Amino acid sequence: MLYPGIIKKYLDFLPVAETSIVTLHEGNTPLFESQRLVKELKLPIKLFYKLEGLNPTGSFKDRGMTYAVSKAHEAGFKAVICASTGNTSAAAAAYAARAGMQALVVIPKGKVALGKLAQAQIHGAKVFQVDGNFDQALNVVKEVAEHPKVSLVNSINPYRLMGQQSAAFEIVESLGDAPDYHFIPVGNAGNIVAYWRGYKKFYEIAKAKKLPKMCGFQAAGAAPIVEGHVIEHPETVATAIRIGNPANWKFAEEVAAESQGFIKAVTDEEILDAYRKVAQIDGYFCEPASAASLAGVIKMAQSGFFKSGDTVVCTLTGHGLKDPDQAIQQSPPPIPISADAQALLKHINL
């Protein structure tokens, strides 16, 4: 039977008129255990990756977008609008296409990974580029969303976070309980809040016997929560978390405190190291922002943070093909050879 998507699967938590459901069969993503990486780095834990890059548009944003667009459709809106560093716009464009609605996408100048822009364009969104950063783009969007036919689908839309809770439900269903720790990248900080709410719901209805400690990671050049102030000019290779003034800042701090977790920073070097390692040692290609969660796991493990046998889930938020430029920059160039086997064999040493 075809998996119906997260709304039908979790309809009790995501109520909407059945005729308004807009789905691309998002969710139901694999939770895979790390094999070689935990051994090579001598991590004393059971480490699982939640592979959110395997959603229909290649990131977890689909979980929130299916519900936000369904609710907009139900309410009779004609268009959806968002500001985005990329993945939100890719998802908004795809779900709007599915719904027969117009998608309006506002991106910050020159800071969007190529794959994401390509998605918004091919799905038929009207794409506008603002001469400014993400936070400025969001201000434009908020004003336009006052139009009666336009629904805002940035993460300040409450339906987005409600849909995103489904990832925590799936993890509890896969493991039979919540993990001890959940590691996750933090940008606008919606996802960390959504996971926590999801874990709490399953705890309340006794599907989980415990709650995880939520451990969020910002990029060091874009770490307003860690530093305790707005960052005017956030800088990081991890473009999906290049956010200077997170929309869910206060909620994220509450989640860290309530779950006895934390929000910390990892450097671009640590992010890129984890990005290459998860691809080269465990075989999963995620985008740089996603690797912030694994960079956090590696960093905390090296400081002796974990007990032996702790269960850790690490959300890999988006697919690596979103940002092909980074993958190429982080890899040696192709080796030029003449067209014969001997020329190739000279370069290998098995």
Ligand X SMILES: *Cc1c(COP(=O)(O)O)cnc(C)c1O
CA dihedral sign, ordered 53, 253, 34, 275: positive
Pick the closer one to ligand X by CB: 155 or 166: 155
> Inter-axis angle of helices 291-302 and 268-281, to 10 degrees?
100
Select 172 or 291, whichever has its Cβ closest to ligand X.
291
Q: Which stretch binds ligand X (CB under 6 A): 37-45, 119-127, 182-190, 305-313?
A: 182-190
In the structure encoding, which two tokens stand for residue 230, read together?
A: 């707005």
Q: Shortest gap between Cβ of 255 and ligand X (angstroms)? A: 11
Burial 102-120 (b: 16+ CB within 10 A, else e): bbbbbbbeeebbebbbebb
Site string for ligand X, 31-70 (x = CB under 6 A): ----------------------------x-x---------
Kindly calculate the radius of gyration of the chain based on its CA atoms and give it in whole angstroms.
20
Choose one: 101-109, 254-262, 284-292, 325-333; the region binding ligand X (CB under 6 A).
284-292
User: Is residue 318 close enough to count as binding ligand X by CB under 6 A?
Assistant: yes
Residue 85 CB, nearest distance to ligand X (Å)? 7
Among 189, 226, 231, 255, binds ligand X (CB under 6 A): 189
Binding ligand X (rule: CB under 6 A), the pick from 185, 198, 261, 296 is 185
Phi–psi pair at 313, nearest 5 degrees: -110, 135
5, 27, 187, 244: residue in contact with ligand X (rule CB under 6 A): 187
Binder of ligand X out of 240, 271, 274, 313 (CB under 6 A): 240
Instruction: Fill in the DSSP letter of residue 318.
Output: B
Q: Which amino acid is located at 313 in the chain?
A: V
Q: In this chain, which residue has its C-beta nearest to ligand X?
A: 318
- Taking the complex as a whole, how short is the minimal distance between the CB of residue 303 and ligand X, in angstroms? 23
Task: Indicate which single residue of 190, 224, 234, 261 sits in contact with ligand X (rule: CB under 6 A).
Answer: 190
Non-local (6+) Cβ contacts of 131 within 8 A are: 109
Q: Cα dist. 181→27, 47, 193, 300, 342 in Å?
A: 21, 10, 14, 11, 50
In the complex, the smallest distance separating the C-beta of residue 155 from ligand X, rounded to whole angstroms, is 6
Closer CB to ligand X, 177 or 274, in the complex? 274
289 part of the interface to ligand X, by CB under 6 A: yes
Rule CB under 6 A: is residue 87 a binding residue for ligand X?
A: yes
Residues 57, 89, 102, 191: which binds ligand X (CB under 6 A)? 191
Provide the binding-site residues for ligand X, judged by CB under 6 A. 59, 61, 87, 155, 185-191, 240-241, 287, 289-290, 317-318
